[in-house]
Structure 1
């Protein structure tokens, strides 16, 4: 859907002919019956995904070359710590909603990223409204999620894990130092302004 080629290519492509009805092709070269076709769907990564828009191929007068846009969207997961620094080595479990629900585990790289490739449309059919996938992150024996990102809404989904120092901790330490400093100053002032005891009366 973003204009990048699918890898691997679809296993098959289903076309709807005006005269001959539906036909499924499994080879991108060879012969099909001369007709005016509308692209309906493709089988890719065990999922049947629709064409991104109404697309046609005119073979009534001879061979034709066409680029077909399918409803699949690139997705990346980005892992950061409390200071928004990238986290490497986080274990990420992805559940692809591809009709057979396949789960795979990945590890974030040195930039905190896991590149998932393309996510097929999961909702909406020919008018894709979502390309969702399940996401769970495990880092230092802590689990985060599950989340349900939508690749049609954003290509990069960020997850923050509890790691690294936080600005809150630093701010709290500074505030405590200021409080103790003020208290110490007040004690010194109290000592200095204390009046000596009056001499005893005889």
Structure 2
């Protein structure tokens, strides 16, 4: 059902377009960059494309239901099953996108194995973080009104989710950024392992918060 809505609802086109839009500035400015600038830009646009895509996709998944959420509550579906259903699609698509972004950038710009691995690890971590953050704020601040709407999450929820995503991704990427650009750390792969561990830890925290929020939403829906 969620996958069909992505393909059929015209207001969802802007979410599909995010990854392509994020690649345009990099492709237009690549000729004037040195190697380290290219690493930074590729990482930034890969993270933004993957992160914003995953965030919006997961944050709007509950609001898309509108008043149909009441019917879901009356069905045999429980909060655990509903949470899993809402997490699987955005997480799967975001992970695929993270692999595509890192692979395309690495091939087009001839990254070495170290740079390609770094981009891949951080892109995967960003995908997990973005979906977990989006699910939490999307379930806490859904826009369920009957009026015509172009958004499925309140403005407050969207702002808070983007701030949380930025902070979480920065925390996750800090070890590898510190090593690559400042030489701080114990080596590339230990830094990557720490970054990935931070990313998975932050994701686990937000997934746990999301699951609890889903239970709360189901408990508060009127019978």
Q: Does the alignment reach a TM-score above 0.5?
A: no
Higher relative contact order (CA 8 A, sep 6+): 2
Give me the TM-score of the superposition, normalised by structure 1: 0.26
Structure possessing the higher radius of gyration over alpha carbons: 1
Give me the TM-score of the superposition, normalised by structure 2: 0.24
Q: Which has the higher strand share?
A: 1
Q: Which has the higher helix share?
A: 2
